[in-house]
Amino acid sequence: MEIRHIDIDYGYCSDRNDLSDEDRLLLVAAEKACTTAYAPYSNFRVGAAVRFDDGEILTSSNQESVAFPSGICAERGLLYFVQANRPQKKIRTLAIVSSPSPTECTPCGACRQVIADTEQRQKTPIRILMGGAQSTIVIESAQALLPFHFTLPATKE
């Protein structure tokens, strides 16, 4: 058997002030969205924000249900909303943050799949900013977040 390797390039920014104004503002928008989270069970509030190619920004937050696990993550709920309401637009950047934010907020596996689905559908890379209190991880494409992501062999859109 041949052993193969996957290398992932990502940016790490220890000081948010070193990011571009656009990226910093998107992280702030995601942080504001944390205040709309409904997370009485986990007490872990997550905010997500997307910036489209035309500059429009939309945000969302995680929503939990007493009928666990019927809630939804911030980024997945946001991407579903985008597909339902802005299907023609392309997402340039997705920012994800949490409150509290002891470290960078990274998406769960289900969200990684949906981000990869969205990127594949729009046919252009989605940059992802995973924000912490001051630090940020930056990746240039969802493909790096989920190697070997699931696809249907005959998918045509």
Q: Which of 31, 75, 104, 119 is catalytic?
A: 75
- For residue 18, the minimal CB distance to Zn ion (Å) is 27
Q: Which is nearer to Zn ion, 8 or 108 (CB)?
A: 108
Q: Which is nearer to Zn ion, 19 or 111 (CB)?
A: 111
- For residue 114, the minimal CB distance to Zn ion (Å) is 8
- For residue 98, the minimal CB distance to Zn ion (Å) is 11
Q: Contact positions toward Zn ion, by CB under 5 A?
A: 73, 108, 111
Q: Could you write out the DSSP letters of every residue in the chain?
A: ----------EEESSGGGS-HHHHHHHHHHHHHHTT-B-TTT--EEEEEEEETTS-EEEEE-B--SSTT--B-HHHHHHHHHHHH-TT--EEEEEEEEES-SS-----HHHHHHHHHHHHHHTS--EEEEE-SS-EEEES-GGGTSTT----TT---
Q: Which is nearer to Zn ion, 58 or 145 (CB)?
A: 145
Residue nearest to Zn ion (CB): 73
Annotation says 75 is catalytic: yes
Active site residues per annotation: 75
